């Protein structure tokens, strides 16, 4: 990440941020500032395309903030926007995140915290740029696939099945589905007994056959395919077309996009009928479509991972969590089931960061994330909401069942030992639980707000506890609790 990143500070009183400007310049950033009163003319005053991070004053009116974010999106700016305000209203916070706010800073903002959030914002911007680049490549590859498909339409009726194959390859962006579609439809054009697909990114072989073969036999086929593929891919230049081997009993099809080698397709026959030149030419013709379909799926998978994963913990990020909870909320209403949400906050996490450093704090957060994953079901979703706040979405789970799951998480973390420098420490968590359906929960935001209220009560009552606010007390914080669990 370049240290000369351009930071724009928009504030009500520029005199108040002289210290911040000097600090950030001293840290190697290119810093400019603008009075909040001139935010309406910012796009005329500043080349927004050269701005990497924008820090907005929380004193601006909501209308001004949303209007600014809308104009920023319309200019296709990739600048990361931070808001110097902690928004307690869940609806407003969600709206700001959807509008383009990356994160929120509590005012007054400590210089070290400001720098950390700016650097996180720059990382987010770098990730966004990478996603846009991958999306452009995906669009370009799809256009090339479309051109190839149009070319196939001009061929004779004998190539109709190949056209169908080409169509089915473009219908999915999941690698497994693309491979399955390829092997099923290719057999209709070129009969084979075993198909082996080796992809360079995965370094493994997928085998497709309808014949009864022993596991040992298929293992030998897999090993031989890997060996042949690696030898072929390690060469400076791939052959221009398929390679017929073993007297025509098998054929290798190099897969590539432009000059990029992505894998090998191997077809095997046990019958006396060998692969002929005509079939070799067909495979040469469709190899580009196969390669593009596979590469599209790989790019799609990479885009999905970049867009949905939290960089530090590898959990789902906040945006992905919002998608999950919205989907599960609709499913709960449709099928009349229950849905629980657990909001988790690491107790005294700031002391860990201050006492042992942020690298240790990051490692602790990663370990806690893994402990939570081990404590819940495969159908449950664990995400990082922000900072040291984590969240668990539990489908088909009522309040009592969610309490049991929360106790399991709390116990696992409370009894674990965490290495902090040369010390071994124990860590506790506070948890807030809410569940629906409930008469006062109409939206996913209502569900989250109740869990947040419960978490607030848990921290206020001394931390290291689980709370669940009574639905009759929406908006009120706190409530009675029994044996460390609020009921």
Same domain, 166 and 266: yes
For residue 139, tell me if it sits in a domain.
Answer: no
- The domain that holds 436 is classified in CATH as 3.30.70.270
For residue 148, tell me if it sits in a domain.
Answer: no
For residue 130, tell me if it sits in a domain.
Answer: no
| CB of 430 closer than 8 Å to CB of 388 | no
Same domain, 183 and 259: yes
Same domain, 196 and 54: no
Angle between helix axes 90-99 and 62-74 (nearest 10 degrees) is: 20
Half-sphere exposure of 225 (CA within 13 A, CB side): 30
| CB of 55 closer than 8 Å to CB of 6 | no
> What's the rounded Cα separation, in Å, for the pair 466 and 353?
24
What pLDDT score does 153 carry? 58
Strand order in the sheet with 243-245: 204-209, 194-199, 260-268, 250-257, 243-245
- The domain that holds 54 is classified in CATH as 3.40.50.2300
Same domain, 232 and 378: no
Same domain, 183 and 294: yes
pLDDT digits (tens, 9 = 90+) for 40-68: 777 776 777 788 888 888 777 888 888 88
Range of the structural domain that residue 276 is part of: 155-305
Same domain, 415 and 438: yes
For residue 352, tell me if it sits in a domain.
Answer: yes
Number of domains the chain contains: 3
Q: Which residue has the higher pLDDT, 247 or 204?
A: 247
Same domain, 295 and 340: no
What pLDDT score does 37 carry? 80
What pLDDT score does 158 carry? 56
Same domain, 245 and 281: yes
Mean pLDDT computed over every residue of the chain: 84
> What's the rounded Cα separation, in Å, for the pair 172 and 300?
10
Question: Last residue of some domain: 80, 107, 122?
Answer: 122
Same domain, 323 and 287: no
- The domain that holds 161 is classified in CATH as 3.30.450.40
Question: Last residue of some domain: 105, 122, 139?
Answer: 122
For residue 483, tell me if it sits in a domain.
Answer: no
Same domain, 110 and 167: no
Point out the least confidently predicted range of 42-46, 280-284, 354-358, 387-391: 42-46
Same domain, 16 and 115: yes
What pLDDT score does 151 carry? 58
Q: For strand 204-209 and strand 194-199, is the pairing parallel, antiparallel, or unpaired?
A: antiparallel
For residue 486, tell me if it sits in a domain.
Answer: no
- Kindly state the average pLDDT of the residues 62-79: 82
pLDDT digits (tens, 9 = 90+) for 110-123: 888 888 888 888 88
> What's the rounded Cα separation, in Å, for the pair 472 and 27?
51
Question: Last residue of some domain: 271, 305, 339?
Answer: 305
What SS3 state is found at 343? strand
Residue 475 has pLDDT above 80, yes or no: no
pTM recorded for the entire structure: 0.46
For residue 30, tell me if it sits in a domain.
Answer: yes
> What's the rounded Cα separation, in Å, for the pair 113 and 121?
12
Q: For strand 243-245 and strand 6-11, is the pairing parallel, antiparallel, or unpaired?
A: unpaired
For residue 143, tell me if it sits in a domain.
Answer: no
Residue 285 has pLDDT above 80, yes or no: yes
pLDDT digits (tens, 9 = 90+) for 142-175: 888 887 777 565 456 557 777 788 788 878 778 8
Cis peptide preceding 437, ω within 30 of 0: yes
Half-sphere exposure of 160 (CA within 13 A, CB side): 2
Same domain, 467 and 326: yes
């Amino acid at each position: 990440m370049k240290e000369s990143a351009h930071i724009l500070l928009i504030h009500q009183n520029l005199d108040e941020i002289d210290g911040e400007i000097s600090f950030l310049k001293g840290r190697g950033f290119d810093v400019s500032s603008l009075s909040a009163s001139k935010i309406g003319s910012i796009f005329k005053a500043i080349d927004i395309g050269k701005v990497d991070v924008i820090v907005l004053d929380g004193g601006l009116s909501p209308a001004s903030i949303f209007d600014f974010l809308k104009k920023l999106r319309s200019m296709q700016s990739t600048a990361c926007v931070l808001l110097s305000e902690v928004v307690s209203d869940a609806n407003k916070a969600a709206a700001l995140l959807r509008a383009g706010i990356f994160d929120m800073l509590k005012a007054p903002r400590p210089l070290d915290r400001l720098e950390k959030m700016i650097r996180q914002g720059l990382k987010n911007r770098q990730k966004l740029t990478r996603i846009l680049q991958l999306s452009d490549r995906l669009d370009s590859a799809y256009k090339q696939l479309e051109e190839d498909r149009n070319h196939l339409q001009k061929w004779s009726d004998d190539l109709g099945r190949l056209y169908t194959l080409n169509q089915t390859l473009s219908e999915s962006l999941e690698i497994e589905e693309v491979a399955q579609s390829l092997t099923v439809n290719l057999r209709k054009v070129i009969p084979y007994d075993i198909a082996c697909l080796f992809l360079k990114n995965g370094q493994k072989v997928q085998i497709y056959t309808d014949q009864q073969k022993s596991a040992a036999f298929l293992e030998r086929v897999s090993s031989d395919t890997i060996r042949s593929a690696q030898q072929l891919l390690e060469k400076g230049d791939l052959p221009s077309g398929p390679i017929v081997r073993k007297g025509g009993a098998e054929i290798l099809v190099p897969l590539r996009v432009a000059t990029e080698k992505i894998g090998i397709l191997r077809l095997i026959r046990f019958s006396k009928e060998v692969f002929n030149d005509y079939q070799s030419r067909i495979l040469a013709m469709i190899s580009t479509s196969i390669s593009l379909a596979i590469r599209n799926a790989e790019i799609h998978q990479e885009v999905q991972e970049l867009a949905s994963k939290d960089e530090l913990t590898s959990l789902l990020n906040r945006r992905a969590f919002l998608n999950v909870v919205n989907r599960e909320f609709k499913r709960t209403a449709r099928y009349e089931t229950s849905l629980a949400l657990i909001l988790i906050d690491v107790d005294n996490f700031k002391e860990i960061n201050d006492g042992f450093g942020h690298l240790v704090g990051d490692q602790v957060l990663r370990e806690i994330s893994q402990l939570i994953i081990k404590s819940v079901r495969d159908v449950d979703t664990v995400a990082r909401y922000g900072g040291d706040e984590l969240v668990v979405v539990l489908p088909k789970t009522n309040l009592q069942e969610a309490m049991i799951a929360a106790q399991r998480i709390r116990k696992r973390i409370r009894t674990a030992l965490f290495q902090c420098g040369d010390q071994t420490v124990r860590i506790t968590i506070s948890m807030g639980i809410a569940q629906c359906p409930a008469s006062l929960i109409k939206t996913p935001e209502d569900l989250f707000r109740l869990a947040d209220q419960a978490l607030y009560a848990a921290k206020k009552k001394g931390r290291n506890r689980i709370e669940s606010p009574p639905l009759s007390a929406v908006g009120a914080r706190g409530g009675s609790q029994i044996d460390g669990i609020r009921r």
